[in-house]
Amino acid sequence: MPSAEGVPAETIVAALKGAGATHVVIVPDTNQKTVLDLLDEQAEVPVIRCTAEDDVFGVCAGLWFAGHRPVAVIQQLGIFAGVNVLRGMVHDQRAPIAILAGMYGRDLDCELPDDPGSAVRLCTPLLDALQIPWRLVEGPQDADIIEAELAAVFDSECASAVLLGAPTT
């Protein structure tokens, strides 16, 4: 039996809006394609596309400094790719970066620590090393975590990541 199942795009977009997200900042992604497609169909929350995750984190920080509530919607691989910018924005600039990351390449028959893919297995230890709290959403039954955790980023002005354990539906 799979350890995770996808959360519907409608649930995730509703959680972004419920958390008060003013912008979604992305790098085009296949793991959360259904979410990105749905975001493109609405006009309430603008979508800003970047070419790399370090750009995503910088744009999110700039929007936050300008008084907005942006959410970075990326793959967990982007956390690795943008680690230096993420570290600098979160710890040196004190920008509360809200991250919604799909666990791209995850073997759904494995728990995260047992996944054969290093980008899956090492993601949470990397977040721990960066002192960025994280929550894992393993399916629709955990979906309430998304809105609550993203809203908490802005209310507490502390970075956090919500990890989606399976591709969205």
Residue 90 is predicted with a pLDDT of: 96
Cβ density class 13-28: b for 16+ within 10 Å, e for less: bebbeebebbbbbbbe
Residue 64 is predicted with a pLDDT of: 97
- Count the Cβ atoms, other than its own, within 10 Å of residue 99: 28
Contact 10, 145 (CB under 8 A): no
Tell me whether residue 84 is exposed, middle or buried, using C-beta atoms within 10 angstroms of its C-beta: 0 to 12, 13 to 18, 19 or more: exposed
* Whether CATH 3.40.50.300 fits 9-164: no
Whole-number average pLDDT of the chain? 96
**Confidence check: pLDDT of 86 > 80:** yes
Per domain, the residue ranges of the chain are 9-164
pTM: 0.97
Counting every residue, how long is the chain? 169
